[in-house]
Amino acid sequence: MKSKMELLKQIVASEFMKQDLHLFLNTHPMDKEAISKYNYFVIESRGLREKYEMNYGMLSETNSLSPYPWQWLNNPWPWEADANFKFDKGDM
Amino acid sequence: MEYENRSKMAKCSASNNCVPQETVIKDVRLAAAYVPYQKLCTLFTPLEALKRGTAFPELYSPYDGEDKCYKLESSKKERTYEE
């Protein structure tokens, strides 16, 4: 089982790939390879987000299911250190 | 009229021979700017991309630092103009 921060890091990285491929596709709409890569990261980030939310809580205040009581308040706020991952040397 | 710009990028990009941009630009006109069309070659891994701010190795262009591989060296840029 991956740690919370490791999973969060993967989610952010996967979301970033989606974003950058989306920008590429806006100028290259016929690029099949780019579309399949984009689709790959859509599926991947969806899976990672699901896994994270099942184990560690809500990632979004309007797009995540919450058990009772309302869970959003349990998470550290985005600007708190606890809410953020750090890169380590093995990441490159 | 044909304008060719063979950049040094090919040397830097991965092990394959993929050049991540168009290398021949046709119908070049005076006083008109043109941006070479990007071509998909390789992508960084997601974590590398996140750290570098781009998923595309050919677009990685830090202001400074040791990792300047993907930066064009303007002094060495090879240009030929034909008519």
Which value does ipTM take for this structure?
0.87
Which residues in chain A show pLDDT less than 50?
Answer: none
- If you average pLDDT over residues B3-25, what whole number do you get? 63
Q: Rounded to whole angstroms, how far apart are CA atoms A34 and A25?
A: 7
Distance in angstroms between the alpha carbons of the first and the last residue of chain A: 21
Q: Which residues of B16-42 are buried (b: 16+ CB within 10 A; e: fewer)?
A: eeebbbeeeeeeeeeeeeeeeebebbe
Report helix, strand or coil for A62.
coil
Confidence of residue B8 (pLDDT cuts 50, 70, 90): very low
Query: Contact B51/A92, CB-based, under 8 Å?
Result: yes
**Number of domains within chain B:** 1
Query: Mind listing the pLDDT tens digit for each residue in B22-78?
Result: 999 888 899 999 989 999 999 999 999 999 999 999 999 988 766 555 555 444 444
Q: What is the average pLDDT score of chain A?
A: 92
Report helix, strand or coil for B21.
strand
What is the predicted pLDDT for the residue at A91?
74
Partners of residue A87 in chain B, C-beta under 8 Å: 47, 51
Query: Mind listing the pLDDT tens digit for each residue in A21-41?
Result: 999 999 999 999 999 999 999
Partners of residue A9 in chain B, C-beta under 8 Å: 47
What is the predicted pLDDT for the residue at B40?
97
The answer, for A40 touching chain B at a CB cutoff of 8 Å, is no
Listed by number, the residues of chain B in 22-81 with a beta carbon closer than 8 Å to a beta carbon of chain A are 38, 40, 43, 46-51, 54-56
Domain locations in chain A? 4-78
What is the predicted pLDDT for the residue at B69?
58
Measure in Å the smallest separation between the Cα of A68 and chain B Cα atoms.
35
Domain of B68? Answer: 2-82
B72: which residues sit within 8 A by CB, 6+ positions away? Answer: B7, B8, B9
Query: Contact B43/A14, CB-based, under 8 Å?
Result: no
What is the predicted pLDDT for the residue at A74?
87
For residue B80, pLDDT over 90 is answered with no
Query: Contact B43/A37, CB-based, under 8 Å?
Result: yes
What is the predicted pLDDT for the residue at A5?
93
What is the predicted pLDDT for the residue at B7?
40
